Structure 1
């Protein structure tokens, strides 16, 4: 067995299985933009977001750069001007278009980007048998990378459409759920010495480098809430002047609330008991039973303080999720309206995976013994381990099959355009 702290991210999959997963992933990305027009796909609503067209091209650039260009003899770039446009943050790959300027790319057109995807897909399929023999880890990383961008694509479209006074719908609303939020109760978590992080088992399960290596951690006695915080509970927080009580907030959070005039989760409007929120199906009445989402770390921490609790550590969260099926829960199965909804419990917990990314109180830092992968792909995670907090569990926009208990997402504490929510914890 390979040392789990090595640069290899997974053992190679069989060729046919990888081929099918590659095609399914590439197809889903294009399915997600089927209803968009040229303008929808090109506009950038804020610097943190990217145009849908850019996501489609960047994920293609990833396969072209790190697999075809680097490992297929005599491969020629599709267009040698495009790496400047579609490199995201890889310093080792040279100069690139500034992130806030991605929305200026009226050219290439959406049709030209789709043609680029077709070209790279054909080249990848032809080269796949040889690539899997020596670079199966990079093939899998490319697939997992595109799955991450599928979620980003949906959340960026949602933010873009929310800025339109017409409130356009990306997709039809799903059928109304009759599931009610389960009553809140506390589940005592594991304490003492536990194992945290991913391990490369005999089946070669994938893990990003920031999940490695597996290592021991000590947990004090604690309990986790059986479900995420709901919209109804968040309305109580608002009604109790939660956004106006300085004692509930971290200093940076209180500054953020006042500077940005924050008084509710992102995409909410209304007041009292009459709230609407913007969804991928347009403006809808707030579902009181569903998990609250689009809240920042600052908001999550303030709510936990107001509730007489705290946010869980990522160690506590992972220990609770370790033996649970990460395919359970509300996750992305196909193009459509991704929104959180109430779920029943499975073995005591509701929505440990899916529905909303759950803020933890843990800073995003490397595990003991962490080593980034060699080369430019080593910039994938490690260089962002500063000033951010970890989220766990996935969301309604995470492609099903992408998650595992050790999965670490991370954002800056003020960011909330992703499907971010929270689960409470308390010390015992």
Structure 2
């Protein structure tokens, strides 16, 4: 088992059944400082007004969005009677999820970096004042106004990860890797495709309230699945394995779904997002730098690219379903994986790790939690009994459709309750995250 070295190991979520003020304050500041450290890596204010992904706002929006979210939700919950800056709390209120770049409504004028920085300091002070004046050791459930504060902290952590994906797409000359931010070892192993059988069984999705941790609305409810026997690869697909597909079939329309090929042609995509074409072959775009290709790290691709690889492999290869993932990930009724020091979650490294490097003592499969997200072949859908939370009614409900696929397990940069075994994440199939995949097939 590998010993994982922390670069800024984030704090674990607070206990909502007995909320201790100092722990809550530390957890808030930890989330806040993660984002500060990330955006501090941008060395030129000009870069804040770039959109590294054409389907997302400029980076200046995300620098201010998480701060405005705290204020807006604390007003909705009644903990604040008014906000700080009505204009900021309007223009920074809501993110975007267009299907095409031309459907993105982008502002022409944004606040300056210093203005957003000043606003963030005001918000930080206001949030700390809420924590200082609350009672100690209270129980907070989803109906309690302080749920909005927990919601703000976890939302902050979600955007720490999603903003990191955008910043990773900036030209590297705009960035300086933060001191102490270390990438994992690479090219130290040559993992081979190894399939493990599962007899199937019954799996229950969903969490119940009360629970010791905050949860998003799409995590609550329940759904039982009877899973047929299947098998899946022990490891995530590596860059080396995906390179073989790239050479043999990435440009071949036969292996792509109709939607996938249309996306590839429309965007003129010729290789995975984080591969960098060079005269000597592909290099790799890490968080802040271009480095040699880590052949034994997982291939980070979107769902269309993952499905194309499955089709190339043939023999019924496909992505795991949500039910299958949960069956093999929780087969021993495991505790929350964020407590397991061997797993590459929670910014224990500043990058992915070689597949299987952080071996999972709870499962014969590697990297079910941490390293990179596992794309799933399941559409984002509600669990039975789902109810949108009144503080954030459009968090998940608008995205429960055939346009959004799920992913599971978290990545190296997933923190907070995003690293929970109950967390249910979704994205459009052509969107990039720190996400890869493993193969599955029905027996």
Change (3 A) 1:235 1:178: closer
8 A Cα contact 1:224 1:426, kept in partner: yes
Partner of 1:338: 351
Partner of 2:243: 235
Asked whether 1:219 is paired with 2:235, we answer no
Asked whether 1:176 is paired with 2:176, we answer no
Structure 1 residue 86 displacement after superposition:
1.0
Paired residues for 1:26-45 under 5 Å: 26-37=32-43, 38-45=45-52
Asked whether 1:154 is paired with 2:164, we answer yes
Residue deviations 1:282-325, cap 9 Å, x none?
A: 211111111001x1211111101212211111110111112345
SS of structure 1 residue aligned to 2:107: helix
Change (3 A) 1:260 1:69: closer
Supply the distance in 2 between the matched residues of 1:364 and 1:407 (Cα, whole angstroms). Answer: 12
SS of structure 1 residue aligned to 2:284: strand
Structure 1 residue 42 displacement after superposition:
4.0
Structure 1 residue 354 displacement after superposition:
1.4
8 A Cα contact 1:200 1:206, kept in partner: no
Asked whether 1:284 is paired with 2:291, we answer yes
8 A Cα contact 1:10 1:207, kept in partner: no
Supply the distance in 1 between the matched residues of 2:279 and 2:440 (Cα, whole angstroms). Answer: 28
Asked whether 1:269 is paired with 2:285, we answer no
* Equivalent pairs, count: 403
Residue deviations 1:174-193, cap 9 Å, x none?
A: 26346425433222235232
Paired residues for 1:89-108 under 5 Å: 100-101=106-107, 104-106=110-112
8 A Cα contact 2:238 2:296, kept in partner: yes
Asked whether 1:301 is paired with 2:307, we answer yes
8 A Cα contact 2:157 2:416, kept in partner: no
Partner of 1:396: 412
Partner of 1:25: 31
With the length of structure 1 as denominator, give the TM-score of the two structures. Answer: 0.84
8 A Cα contact 2:71 2:123, kept in partner: no
With the length of structure 2 as denominator, give the TM-score of the two structures. Answer: 0.82
Asked whether 1:57 is paired with 2:64, we answer yes
Paired residues for 1:50-199 under 5 Å: 50-68=57-75, 70-72=77-79, 75-88=81-94, 100-101=106-107, 104-106=110-112, 109-129=115-135, 134-161=144-171, 166=173, 168-171=175-178, 174=183, 176-177=185-186, 179-180=188-189, 182-199=191-208
8 A Cα contact 1:353 1:393, kept in partner: yes
8 A Cα contact 2:42 2:174, kept in partner: no
Change (3 A) 1:189 1:284: same
Change (3 A) 1:64 1:266: same
- The alignment's C-alpha RMSD in Å is 2.9
8 A Cα contact 1:60 1:120, kept in partner: no
Supply the distance in 1 between the matched residues of 2:237 and 2:149 (Cα, whole angstroms). Answer: 38
